[in-house]
């Protein structure tokens, strides 16, 4: 349930007079929630319903506490915002108080971009002769570029002391990665460059320029640099070497070979706080993706590099610098400059630049980038899939936790990777062939437990054409899974596999209606054969599993769930194929002790009937020779089943009318020998073990005074009442079945299954 | 232990069930250029080939000993000599995307800068040899099994001499080379944008291998994996190399077996006089120029039974970890040393085949 204040907040929002006010109310309640949650997180264990009253109190107290910190910070920020003139720190208790507030919150949680903006302005305004503020400017998330630009403009005014300027530069270097955009900062390149003149600032300005320098910056920089170039100071040298890298033709000077450190350490003041924030934001920071080199894991001697499963970072393809130069010349004429993938953040950007987008240098990086996945979907380039194929195939093989002993400790990473692969497959609506091959190769060695859910989900994207290969290579694995009680999960993933194939088929049909697109290489008969093979395969393993598990209800549910898809293949997916469940499945469900299974079976048989009737009608209407017809065997099988069902549920003739070779027909002589009284009545909707419970409840409600439970009372009109009762109890499958497959016009006792036959 | 036991079981299965049709190691892929990739949601895999094979560790049951095992005429003897008698660590490499032989100089520059940058922990990067490190990419001509094979590439990292003399030579601190000998099957299956140099051999500090490998992976979207050699393939090497003719001095054929014991594993070294080994092989081999799995098994079984007669140890129950002959020596960890230029192509053909089967 939602904490009470939330609804309160909503209520207030509703009552608010103007939208702005409403927003504020809502926001404050939200921040209260965040704090509340944090405190609640520590205490969830002892918050029980008995302490409900207590809880209310605690909650309001903690909300208040959270509010007060937030209030203090806001007060402090307002205070700093209003500073318009020089304020001495000494003996100024208000200022002291606000400074302390800001410091403590900043070091704990970091500051919002807005807060940073206010404080940065104050720190560089020259009104405060103190560097304490600069030392606590820790961002909680990012720093707005505009704040930095305005801060730099304050530097130009020259009101702040040189030590403040120095500290600001160090801060800027330390926080460089947190600045959200850097375009405007790049525009200030020349300004920073001029600051090189200042001897004290020079090392830090160099470092900043080093961070800012791009290929384009060099032309501005290089000619000026020589003016300041004296005595080969390491920081200048570093900058120069960078220029030389970008434009070797402009820098002819030779730089000394060995130099250990170039820049003074700027981060030290903020390092601890930055690390805390990095840790908090972990995973989202692009800087965390580093090249892992050299440091081999102590336990894996053979894998000193490529040791960690890291998806490559998205970066522009830079392999042909000569080519890109050519393009630069061509730009002037054609604007054909390519759009760097690093800058692709929104869908509209994708749409605007789709004609000049280049794939990243490592194709594996698209797995985490849904925009590029969209792009992949509409680009005709086989090299995309080939690059992905090789990269993914090798990664899977190298990281597979049960194939290499060394990998066992990396199971979590491998799971994450498999998850990403699966999600990508879902996104693209197609399976990767490298993934499919990985399954073939590795499943025979799989223990059935490691990364189980990931593996089973990947199975559902095996391409249709290669299912038989899969079957052959993984028989061992299937048996293994069945011995280790994985039946339900396997059935679930095979059901998804079937649905994926069928969906694919439907889309193909849509596309074939468009004459521009040539039909794909998979023929309809190939598809039908593959789907039939899958269904037969599942039928086979289902039979085995039911036998192993003594017809467990839970398992039966998953099997029937699979057949709910199978029975509707013709109508729902327009695929001319109907496969009846094997007798091992059919009779398990029919004679189940459980009404749910029986109801499910009734629904399935109703859908089979609907599909078969529709197929027959189509045949009659079109009168053309259809390429695919349901064989008479399918109809025959269906009829045999339907007779057994009608006998079992309606006519009480289960042992007489069942003509299926594996059915429950029994010789009258044998039946006599059992000496069971009223054998005839053993199976119908009253006496069927799955329904008898309902019959008893019905009797108790209809004749509360009669304690003898006389089932024979349910007859004639009462039989119909009883049926209505069953329908009301939720047995809708039974209802559909009886209404469709049983002729109610004739006498109840003489109902023939004949009408049920199609 | 459970795991390795299972793996050895698999090997045994592979041995017992010879694949009658398998002359070539790799299922030849048929190109199906007709697939239309516009289908945005299709199962069309986007790949223009279909593979029809193989489980882990399966290997062909028959191998042809290459007839043209001599180097091509344009080979630089000095460079070839450089490749011999060094311990090389083996890697397999997936096809490189948009690698261009015309840009080797440019690549040298970029890779130099990359190596320098990595060595300087990401600070200033520098082009040229000013950082005391120079990377050179060059072609290794003549190292081909067939004409279709792509030209091999040599990568060398040299540290600049600290001596002030003009003619002080740079010292090579690390080298590695890419090649692909008789890799037609792979070559035919990939489009033109890709360069197949599937086998990579490195000699020198592993930190350099890591840097160079990372650069290639980033730049050409390829993937490096260590290439280990299974005992089955080591047995093949033992047999095939024993059968080779060597004109000059012949070193003993030595097989090293490892017995997993606690606390330390026990190694058994089994050295055979090269002429005896050759004589045994000649009685085993039926068709010259061709080796079959049965012949390899028979050859090893003969050696095993001989050993058992003397020492009462069943070598078949241990693990073959190293083979050394006059031609070359190979360790299961994926290290190789090639001794004879005459057999360089032959050895590389087999290694290329192993590398390709690892990346497919």
For residues A509 and A612, membership in a common domain is answered with: no
Residues B287 and B215 in one domain: no
Determine the 3-state secondary structure of B216 from DSSP.
Answer: helix
For testing the chain B interface, which of A324, A373, A383, A517 should be mutated: the one with the most B CBs within 10 Å? Answer: A383
Q: What is the dihedral of CA A405, A411, A416, A420, to 10 degrees?
A: 30
**d(C-alpha A596, C-alpha A605), whole Å:** 14
Of B206, B226, B246, the domain-final residue: B226
**Nearest CB to A389; choose among B43, B47, B217:** B47
pLDDT, position A306:
65
Contact predicate A702/A718, CB 8 Å:
yes
Higher pLDDT, A127 or B109: B109
Residue of B262 and A356 predicted with greater confidence: A356
Q: Which of B154, B155, B119 is nearest to B140 (CA)?
A: B154
CA distances from B28 to A255, A373, A471, A731, B271 (A): 54, 31, 22, 56, 39
With an 8 Å Cβ cutoff, are A517 and B38 in contact? yes
Average pLDDT over residues B263-280: 89
pLDDT of residue A17: 38
Q: Which two tokens stand for residue B358?
A: 């690892």
**Structure tokens belonging to residue A81:** 């915002």
- The beta-strand segments (E) located in B98-223 are 133-140, 152-159, 171-179, 194-195, 199-204
Please choose, from the candidates B56, B358, B61, the residue with its C-alpha nearest in 3D space to the C-alpha of residue A444. Answer: B56
Average pLDDT of A710-718?
85
Element (H, E) at A195: none
Please tell me which of the candidates B35, B123, B359 has its beta carbon nearest to residue A390. B359
pLDDT tens-digit profile of B58-81?
567 888 876 655 677 788 889 999
- B206 within some domain: yes
Q: Is the pLDDT of residue A290 over 70?
A: no
Is the distance from CB of A238 to CB of B124 less than 8 angstroms? yes
Please give the full DSSP string across A623-687, using - where no structure is assigned.
-S--S----HHHHHHHHHHHHHHHHHHTSS-HHHH---TTS----HHHHHHHT-TTGGGGSSTTT
Is A239 inside a domain boundary?
A: yes
Q: Which residues does chain A have within 8 Å of residue B360's beta carbon, measured at their own beta carbons?
A: 393
Residue A308 lies in a domain: no
Above 0.85 for ipTM, yes or no? no
**Whole-angstrom Cα Rg for chain B:** 22
Task: Indicate the burial class of A41 (C-beta count within 10 angstroms; 0-12, 13-18, 19 or more).
Answer: exposed
pLDDT at A89: 73
* Bridge partners of residue B194, in order along the sequence: B97
Cα gap A330→B127, rounded to integer Å: 26
Contact A382 B126 (CB under 8 A): no
A391 vs B100, B124, B221: nearest CB: B221
Domain boundary pick from B226, B246, B273? B226
Test B55 with A504 for CB contact under 8 angstroms. Answer: no
Residues A279 and A376 in one domain: no
Confidence of residue B21 (pLDDT cuts 50, 70, 90): very low
Q: What percent of chain A has pLDDT over 90?
A: 15
Q: What is the pLDDT of residues A389-400, one digit of tens each?
A: 999 999 998 888
| Same domain, yes or no: A125 and A233 | yes
User: Which is more confidently placed, B79 or A83?
Assistant: B79
Q: Which residue has the tokens 């629904």?
A: A603
Q: In the structure encoding, which two tokens stand for residue B10, read together?
A: 């698999």
Both B173 and B147 in a single domain? yes
b/e code A325-339 from CB counts within 10 Å (16+ = b): eeeeeeeeeeeeeeb
Q: Would the CB atoms of B40 and A378 count as touching at under 8 Å?
A: yes
Of the partner residues A262, A320, A437, the one whose CB lies closest to the CB of residue B123: A262
Cβ proximity of A216 and A230 under 8 Å: no
Q: Give the DSSP letter string of A592-631.
A: -S-HHHHHHHHHHHHHHHHHHHHHHHHHHHH-S--S----
The reply to whether A247 and A379 lie within a common domain is no
So what's the pLDDT on residue B155?
A: 96
For an interface test with A, which of B221, B227, B332 has the most A Cβ atoms less than 10 Å from its Cβ? Answer: B221
Residue B13 pLDDT > 50: no
Which chain A residue has its CA at the smallest distance from B95's CA? A390
**Which of B130, B213, B223 has its CB closest to that of A257?**
B130
Residue A80 lies in a domain: no
Is residue A142 included in any domain, yes or no?
yes
Q: Are residues A656 and A712 in the same domain?
A: yes
**Which tokens go with B211?**
């840097």
* B66 is a domain residue: no
Higher pLDDT, B168 or B88: B88
Contact assignment for B221 to A363 by CB distance below 8 Å = yes
- Examine the domain organization and report whether A550 and A591 are in the same domain: no
Q: Cα A694 from chain centroid?
A: 43
Do B215 and B240 lie in one domain? The reply is no
CA distance A242 to B174: 26
Answer yes or no: do A235 and A383 share one domain: no
pLDDT of res. A749:
40
8 A C-beta contact, residue A386 and residue B222: no
Band of pLDDT at residue A604, cut at 50, 70 and 90 = very high
Question: Between the CA of residue B156 and those of A276, B54, B93, B135, B137, what are the distances in Å?
Answer: 42, 36, 18, 6, 7
Q: Which of A305, A307, A404, A448 to mutate to test the interface with B (most CBs of B within 10 A)?
A: A305
Same-domain status, B94 and B233: no
Q: Do B38 and A380 touch (CB under 8 A)?
A: yes
Question: Residues A662, A664, A668, A674: is their CA dihedral positive or negative?
Answer: positive
From A254, A255, A293, residue closest to B214, measured CB to CB = A293
**Nearest Cβ partner of B42 from A305, A364, A430?**
A430
Cβ atoms of A364 and A392 closer than 8 Å: yes
Q: Does residue A336 form part of some domain?
A: no
pLDDT value at B239 more than 90:
yes
> B110 to chain A: which residues are within 8 Å by CB?
321
State the nearest Cα–Cα gap between B105 and chain A, in angstroms: 11
Degrees, nearest 5: CA angle A7-A8-A10: 65
**What does the pLDDT read at residue B279?**
92
Alpha-carbon span A151 to A142, nearest angstrom = 16
Contact criterion met (CB < 8 Å) for B95 and A386: yes
Q: How many CB pairs under 8 A join A and B?
A: 186
pLDDT band at B123 (very low <50, low <70, confident <90, very high): low
Interface test with B, best of A394, A402, A428, A429 (most B CBs within 10 A): A394
pLDDT at A103: 85
Task: Tell me, yes or no, whether B68 lies in a domain.
Answer: no
**Is the confidence at residue B198, as pLDDT, over 50?**
yes
Residue B61 DSSP symbol: S
The reply to whether B148 and B174 lie within a common domain is yes
Q: Is residue B281 part of a domain?
A: yes
Work out the pLDDT band at A445, boundaries 50, 70, 90. Answer: confident
Lowest mean pLDDT among A163-172, A457-466, B163-172: B163-172
Contact criterion met (CB below 8 Å) for B135 and B182:
no
Of A574, A591, A610, which residue constitutes the final position of a domain? A574
Question: Which residues of chain B lie closer than 8 angstroms to A322, CB-CB?
Answer: 103, 106
Q: Which of B10, B32, B130 sits opposite A254 (nearest CB)?
A: B130
> Does B296 lie in the same domain as B261?
yes
Asked whether the predicted pLDDT for residue B322 surpasses 90, the reply is: yes
Under an 8 A CB cutoff, do A302 and B194 touch? no
* Contact flag A437-B225 (C-beta cutoff 8 Å): no
Query: How distant is the Cα of A487 from the closest Cα of chain B, in angstroms?
Result: 24
Tell me: the pLDDT tens digits for A498-518? 898 888 888 877 776 655 444
Which segment, A67-71, A486-490, A735-739, is predicted with the most confidence on average?
A: A735-739
**Residue A477: its pLDDT value, please?**
60
Q: Does residue B253 sit in helix, strand or coil?
A: strand
Name the band, by pLDDT with cuts 50, 70 and 90, for residue B217: very high
Q: Which residues contact B44 (CB under 8 A, 6 or more apart)?
A: A430, A520, A521, B35, B36, B37
Q: How many domains does chain A have?
A: 3
CB contact under 8 A, A394 and B223: yes
In a domain, A320, yes or no: no
Chain B residue numbers with beta carbons less than 8 Å from the beta carbon of A302 are: 226, 228, 333-334
Of A319, A444, A517, the CB nearest to B36: A517
Residues A570 and A685 in one domain: no
Give A442's contacts in chain B (Cβ within 8 Å).
56
- Asked if residue B30 is part of any domain, the answer here is no
pTM, rounded to two decimals: 0.66
Residue matched to tokens 């004679």? A591
Q: What is the greatest pairwise CA distance in chain B?
A: 68
Cβ–Cβ below 8 Å for B126 and A255: yes
The pLDDT of residue B3 is 31
Per residue in B24-34, pLDDT (tens digit) is 333 333 333 22
- Angle made by CA atoms A207, A208, A213, in degrees to the nearest 5: 100
Say yes or no for a CB contact (<8 Å) between A306 and B224.
yes
Q: Which of B7, B123, B220 sits opposite A319 (nearest CB)?
A: B220
Residues A250, A131 share a domain: yes
- Residues of chain A with Cβ-Cβ distance to B335 below 8 Å are none
φ, ψ at A157 (rounded to 5°): -60, -30
| Residue in chain B lying closest to A461 (CA) | B43
Contact A241 B211 (CB under 8 A): no
CB < 8 Å to A397, chain B: 225, 358
Give the residue, A449 or A15, on which the prediction is more confident: A449
Give the mean pLDDT of A78-98: 80
The pLDDT, as a whole number, for residue A46 is 37
Q: Are B127 and A504 inside 8 Å of each other by CB?
A: no
> Is residue A250 assigned to a domain?
yes
Backbone angles phi, psi at A136, to 5 degrees: -110, 20
Nearest by CB to residue A319, choosing from B190, B191, B219, is B219
A183-187, A294-298, B227-231: the lowest-pLDDT one: A294-298
B236 plus B312 within the same structural domain? yes
Q: Which residues of B touch A517 (CB under 8 A)?
A: 36, 38-39
The SS3 call for residue A401 is: coil
Q: What is the DSSP letter of A465?
A: G
Is A746 domain-assigned?
A: yes
Measured between beta carbons, which residues in chain A are less than 8 angstroms from residue B194? 383, 386
Inter-chain residue contact B39 with A520, CB threshold 8 Å: yes
CA B12 to chain A, closest CA, distance in angstroms equals 15
Q: Are residues B150 and B286 in the same domain?
A: no
Q: Answer yes or no: are the C-beta atoms of A139 and A175 closer than 8 Å.
A: yes
| Residue A643 and residue A563 share a domain | no
Number of domains in chain B: 2
Mean pLDDT, chain B, whole residue set: 78
d(CA A437, CA A445): 14
- CB atoms under 10 Å from CB of B244, counted, come to 19
- Give the 3-state secondary structure of residue B68: coil
Q: Could you report the per-residue pLDDT of A304-329, keeping only the tens digit for each? A: 566 556 677 777 766 554 444 444 44
B22 vs A221, more confident = A221
The pLDDT score that the predictor gives to residue A672 is 84
DSSP designation for B17: S
Name which of B45, B128, B333 is nearest A463 (Cβ-Cβ). Answer: B45
Give the Cα-Cα-Cα angle A326, A332, A338 (nearest 5 degrees). Answer: 60
Cβ–Cβ < 8 Å for A554, A488? yes
Segments forming the whole domain that contains residue B130: 77-226
User: Each residue of A350-378: pLDDT tens digit?
Assistant: 888 888 888 888 898 888 888 899 998 88
Residue B79 to residue B329: CA distance in whole angstroms: 20
- Do residues A107 and A136 touch, judged by C-beta distance below 8 A? yes
- How far CA A564 is from CA of A62, A529, A578, A663, A733, in Å, comes to 52, 19, 12, 22, 12
**What local confidence, expressed as pLDDT, does residue A211 receive?**
83
| Shared domain check, B179 and B233 | no
Q: Same domain, yes or no, for A201 and A278?
A: yes
pLDDT value of residue B24? 33
Q: Are A486 and A452 in contact (CB under 8 A)?
A: yes
Residue in A closest to B94 by C-alpha: A390
- B214 and B278 inside one domain: no
> Final residue of a domain: which of B172, B191, B226?
B226
Q: In Å, what is the CA distance from B323 to each residue of A598, B233, B261?
A: 66, 10, 21
Count the alpha carbons within 13 Å of B147 in the hemisphere toward its beta carbon: 0
Show the domain range for A748. Answer: 580-758
Q: Do A621 and A753 lie in a common domain? A: yes
- How far apart are the C-alpha atoms of B295 and A341, rounded to whole Å? 56
Rounded Cα distance between B143 and A624, Å, is 65
pLDDT at A440: 80
- B188 belongs to a structural domain: yes
pLDDT(B334) > 50? yes
Residues of chain A with Cβ-Cβ distance to B46 below 8 Å are 382, 384-386
A360-387 as b/e: b if 16+ CB within 10 A: bbbbbbbbebebbebbbeeeeebbbbbb
pLDDT of amino acid A745 = 53
Contact A193, A220 (CB under 8 A): yes
Indicate yes or no: CB of A302 within 8 angstroms of CB of B333.
yes
Q: Give the three-class secondary structure for B330.
A: strand
Greater confidence (B1 vs A100) lies with A100
- Residue B66 is given by DSSP the state P
Residues B247 and B268 in one domain: yes
pLDDT class for A301, splitting at 50, 70, 90? Answer: very low
Q: What angle do CA A19, A20, A21 make, to 5 degrees?
A: 95
Asked which of A60-74, A458-472, A569-583, A651-665 is least confident by mean pLDDT, the reply is: A60-74
Structural domain includes residue B4: no
Predicted pLDDT at A226: 56
3-class secondary-structure state, position B200: strand
Closest residue in A to B221 (Cα–Cα): A362
Query: A245 and B125: CB-CB below 8 Å?
Result: yes
Residues B197 and B261 in one domain: no
**Average pLDDT score over residue span A576-582:** 92
């Amino acid at each position: 349930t939602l904490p009470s204040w939330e609804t309160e907040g909503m209520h207030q929002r509703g009552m608010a007079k103007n939208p702005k006010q409403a927003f504020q109310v809502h926001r404050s309640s939200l921040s209260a929630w965040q704090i509340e949650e944090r405190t609640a997180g520590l205490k969830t264990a002892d918050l029980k319903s008995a302490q409900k009253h207590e809880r209310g109190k605690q909650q309001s107290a903690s909300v208040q506490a959270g509010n007060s910190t937030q209030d203090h910070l806001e007060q402090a920020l307002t205070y700093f915002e209003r500073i318009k003139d020089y304020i001495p720190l000494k003996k100024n208790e208000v200022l002291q108080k606000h400074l302390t507030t800001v410091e403590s919150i900043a070091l704990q949680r970091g500051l919002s971009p807005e807060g940073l903006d206010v404080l940065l302005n104050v720190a560089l305004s020259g009104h405060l002769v103190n560097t304490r503020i600069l030392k606590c400017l820790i961002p909680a998330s990012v720093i707005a570029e505009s704040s930095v630009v305005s801060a730099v403009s304050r530097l130009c005014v020259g009101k702040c002391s040189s030590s403040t300027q120095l500290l600001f530069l160090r801060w800027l270097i330390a926080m460089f990665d947190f600045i959200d955009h850097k375009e405007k900062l790049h525009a200030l390149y020349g300004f920073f460059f001029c600051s090189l003149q200042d001897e004290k600032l020079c090392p830090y300005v160099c470092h900043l320029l080093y961070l800012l320098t791009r290929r384009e910056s060099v032309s501005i920089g290089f000619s000026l640099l020589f003016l300041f170039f004296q005595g080969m100071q390491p920081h200048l040298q570093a900058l120069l070497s960078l220029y030389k890298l970008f434009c070797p033709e402009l820098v002819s000077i030779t730089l000394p070979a060995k130099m250990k450190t170039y820049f003074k350490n700027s981060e030290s003041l903020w390092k601890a706080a930055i690390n805390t924030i990095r840790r908090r934001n972990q995973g989202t920071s692009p800087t965390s993706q580093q090249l892992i080199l050299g440091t081999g894991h102590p336990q894996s001697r053979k894998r000193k590099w490529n040791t960690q499963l890291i998806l490559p970072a998205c970066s522009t393809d830079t392999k042909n610098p000569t080519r890109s130069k050519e393009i630069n010349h061509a730009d002037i004429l054609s604007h054909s400059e390519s759009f760097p993938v690093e800058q692709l953040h929104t869908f509209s950007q994708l749409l605007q630049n789709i004609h000049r987008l280049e794939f990243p240098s490592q194709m594996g990086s698209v797995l985490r980038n849904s925009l590029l996945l969209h792009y992949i979907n509409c680009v005709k380039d086989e090299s995309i899939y080939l690059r992905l194929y090789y990269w993914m195939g090798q990664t899977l093989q190298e990281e597979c936790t049960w194939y290499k002993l060394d990998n066992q400790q990396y199971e979590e990473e491998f799971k994450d990777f498999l998850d990403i692969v699966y999600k990508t497959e879902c996104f693209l609506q197609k399976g990767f062939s490298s993934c499919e091959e990985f399954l073939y190769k590795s499943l025979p060695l799989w223990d059935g437990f490691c990364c189980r859910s990931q593996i089973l989900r990947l199975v559902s994207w095996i391409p249709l054409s290669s299912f038989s290969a899969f079957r052959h290579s993984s028989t061992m694995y299937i048996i293994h899974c069945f011995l280790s009680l994985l039946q339900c999960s396997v059935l679930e993933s095979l059901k998804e596999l079937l649905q994926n194939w069928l969906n694919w088929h439907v889309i193909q049909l849509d596309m074939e209606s468009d004459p521009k697109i040539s039909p794909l290489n998979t023929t309809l008969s190939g598809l039908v054969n593959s789907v039939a093979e899958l269904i037969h395969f599942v039928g086979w393993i289902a039979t085995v599993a039911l036998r192993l598990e003594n017809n467990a209800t839970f398992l039966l549910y998953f099997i029937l769930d699979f057949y709910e898809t199978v029975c509707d293949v013709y109508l729902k997916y327009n695929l001319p194929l109907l496969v009846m469940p094997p007798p091992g499945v059919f009779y398990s469900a029919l004679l189940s002790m459980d009404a749910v299974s029986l109801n499910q079976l009734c629904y399935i048989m109703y859908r089979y009937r609907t599909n078969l009737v529709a197929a027959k009608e189509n045949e009659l209407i079109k009168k053309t020779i259809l390429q695919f017809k349901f064989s008479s065997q399918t109809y025959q099988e269906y009829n045999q089943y339907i007779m057994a069902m009608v006998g079992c549920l309606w006519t009480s003739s289960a042992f007489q009318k069942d003509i299926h070779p594996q059915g429950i027909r029994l010789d009258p002589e044998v039946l006599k020998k059992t000496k069971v009284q009223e054998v005839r009545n053993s199976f119908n909707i009253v006496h069927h073990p799955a329904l008898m419970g309902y019959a008893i409840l019905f009797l108790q409600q209809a004749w509360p005074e009669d304690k003898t439970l006389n089932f024979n009372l349910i007859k004639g009109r009462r039989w119909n009442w009883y049926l209505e009762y069953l329908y009301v109890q939720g047995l809708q499958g039974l209802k559909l079945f009886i209404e469709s497959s049983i002729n109610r016009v004739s006498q109840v006792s003489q109902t023939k299954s004949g009408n049920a036959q199609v | 232990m459970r795991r390795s036991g299972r793996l050895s079981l698999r090997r045994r299965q592979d041995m017992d069930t010879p694949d009658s049709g398998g002359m070539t190691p790799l299922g030849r892929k048929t190109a199906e250029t007709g697939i239309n990739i516009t289908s945005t949601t299709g199962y069309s895999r986007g790949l223009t080939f279909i593979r029809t094979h193989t489980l882990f560790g399966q290997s062909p049951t028959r191998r042809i000993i290459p007839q043209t095992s001599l180097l091509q005429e344009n080979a630089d003897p000095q460079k070839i000599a450089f490749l011999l008698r060094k311990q090389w660590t083996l890697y397999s490499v997936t096809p490189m995307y948009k690698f261009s032989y015309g840009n080797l100089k440019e690549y040298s520059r970029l890779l130099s800068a990359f190596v320098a940058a990595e060595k300087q922990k990401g600070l200033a990067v520098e082009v040229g040899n000013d950082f005391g490190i120079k990377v050179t990419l060059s072609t290794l001509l003549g190292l081909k099994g067939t004409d279709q094979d792509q030209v091999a590439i040599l990568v060398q990292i040299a540290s600049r001499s600290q001596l002030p003399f003009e003619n002080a030579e740079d010292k090579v601190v690390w080298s590695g080379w890419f090649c692909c000998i008789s890799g037609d099957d792979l070559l035919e299956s990939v489009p033109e944008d890709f360069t197949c140099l599937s086998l990579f051999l490195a000699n020198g500090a592993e930190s350099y291998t890591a840097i160079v490998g990372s650069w290639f992976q980033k730049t050409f979207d390829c993937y490096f994996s260590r290439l280990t050699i299974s005992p089955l393939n080591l047995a093949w090497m033992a047999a095939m190399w024993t059968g080779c003719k060597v004109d000059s001095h012949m070193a003993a054929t030595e097989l090293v077996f490892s017995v997993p014991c606690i606390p330390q594993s026990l190694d058994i070294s089994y050295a055979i006089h090269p002429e005896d080994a050759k004589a045994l092989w000649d009685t085993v081999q039926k068709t010259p120029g061709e080796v079959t799995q049965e012949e390899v098994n028979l050859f090893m079984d003969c050696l095993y039974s001989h050993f058992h007669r003397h020492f009462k140890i069943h070598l078949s129950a241990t693990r073959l970890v190293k083979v050394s002959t006059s031609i070359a020596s190979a360790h299961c960890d994926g290290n190789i040393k090639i001794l004879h230029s005459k057999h360089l192509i032959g050895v590389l053909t087999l290694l290329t085949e192993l590398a390709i089967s690892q990346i497919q």
